[in-house]
Amino acid sequence: MIDHRYGLYLVAYDIADPKRLARIHATLKKQGLPVQYSVFTVVLTRKALQRLLERIGTLINKREDDIRCYRLPENSTADTLGQQYFPDDVMLFAGGINRIS
């Protein structure tokens, strides 16, 4: 995988301690957009993603917490049910393609 190319990633977490939860949330909020509670999307290069995950790794308790990161395909579509979190005028782009439609 090319390290300087941007990709769209989904990061989800389950953190046992409220203080650690707040730190993880604040860290991810600097890098991405929250799409649900404990779920963020980030558009980063592979190297930047590695740095973010290393940072998060220093904040969690590996015996109690769970962090998952998934790269989303280039040309994927998403179906949503219920109320959309993003305002209508917010679009998430990766690779020049709107990821929320």
Handedness of CA 2, 5, 8, 11 (dihedral sign): positive
Q: Is 32 exposed, middle or buried (0-12, 13-18, 19+ CB in 10 A)?
A: buried
Q: Which fold has domain 6-74+86-98?
A: Alpha-Beta Plaits (3.30.70)
Query: For residue range 19-69, what is the model confidence (pLDDT) as tens digits?
Result: 999 999 999 999 998 888 899 999 999 999 999 999 999 999 999 999 999
β-strand pairing of 32-36 with 93-94:
unpaired
Q: What is the pTM of this model?
A: 0.77
For the chain, domain boundaries: 6-74+86-98
